[in-house]
């Protein structure tokens, strides 16, 4: 059984990316369990003076431990101004400064949803670049860019109305399961 955590880059209640995150457990292949990771909304803005005086805030350690003990991480995030939402960038910045850096050797998959036509193509390449620096092992294909997402989801119920998107999500999760098996990505201890 592989234990995966999902991290949603959006904090808003009606988030399309959260609708995707909510679907993932039901789309996972046999032998894969997906749970949403601990929240990062309350992290202070990264400041090395905080780290050096009072230490890492407790919620940063909670997220870092969840990443370390997972077999893989799935990001599902909107694109803000052609890049990462500030809160998600801040969360990654915090956990990246910890000893036993949690993303090192970790299997990562990326998804994005946007009402725009490109579905968040540009945020994915910025996130991929950050994962390179952090020595994560990021799945290459299939990529999931859910463009025009407002037409694919029922905004009120969160229901995915678009079968090709469901199929693609399933295909990525199957590819991620194989990727984890092939690359021997192992959850590490705290
Ligand atoms: C500050 C900000 C910047 C945005 N920049 C982009 C962008 O560069 N590309 C894009 O496709 N959508 C952009 N959007 C629109 C978001 O894709 C849209 O608000 C989306 O619904 C956010 O994801 P969520 O529904 O998961 O919260 C931006 C939205 C905000 C609030």
Predicted confidence band at 189 (pLDDT cuts at 50, 70, 90)? low
Predicted confidence band at 131 (pLDDT cuts at 50, 70, 90)? very high
Phi-psi region of 180 (alpha: psi -120 to 50; beta: other; left: phi over 0): alpha
Predicted confidence band at 186 (pLDDT cuts at 50, 70, 90)? low
Q: List Cα–Cα distances, 125 to 12, 85, 131, in angstroms.
A: 23, 13, 10
Residues with CB under 6 A from ligand 1: 10, 12, 15-17, 78-82, 114-116, 120
Rounded distance between C-alpha atoms, residue 137 and residue 132, angstroms? 8
Rounded distance between C-alpha atoms, residue 162 and residue 149, angstroms? 9
Average pLDDT across the chain, whole number: 96
* C-alpha dihedral sign at 95, 100, 105, 106: negative
pLDDT at 141: 97
Atom 20 of ligand 1, residue of closest alpha carbon:
114
The pTM of the full predicted model, rounded to 2 decimals, is 0.97
pLDDT at 187: 75
Pocket test of ligand 1: the residue of 21, 114, 147 to mutate, having most ligand atoms within 8 Å of its CB, is 114
Say if CB 3 and CB 78 are below 8 A apart.
no
């Amino acid at each position: 059984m592989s234990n995966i955590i999902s991290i949603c880059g959006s904090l808003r209640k009606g988030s399309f990316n959260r609708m995707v995150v909510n679907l993932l457990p039901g789309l996972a292949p046999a032998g894969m369990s997906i749970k949403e990771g601990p929240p990062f909304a309350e992290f202070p803005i990264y400041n090395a003076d905080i780290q050096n005086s009072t230490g890492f805030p407790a919620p940063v350690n909670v997220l870092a431990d969840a990443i370390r003990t997972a077999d893989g991480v799935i990001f599902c995030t909107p694109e803000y101004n052609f890049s990462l939402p500030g809160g998600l960038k801040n969360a990654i910045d915090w956990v990246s400064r910890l000893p036993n850096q949690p993303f090192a050797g970790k299997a990562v998959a990326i998804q994005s949803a946007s009402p725009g036509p490109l579905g968040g193509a540009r945020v994915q390449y910025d996130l991929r670049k950050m994962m390179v620096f952090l020595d994560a092992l990021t799945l290459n294909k299939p990529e999931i860019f859910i463009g025009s997402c407002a037409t694919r989801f029922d905004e009120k119920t969160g229901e995915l109305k678009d079968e090709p998107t469901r199929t693609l999500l399933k295909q990525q999760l199957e590819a991620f399961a194989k990727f984890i098996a092939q690359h021997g990505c192992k959850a590490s201890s705290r």
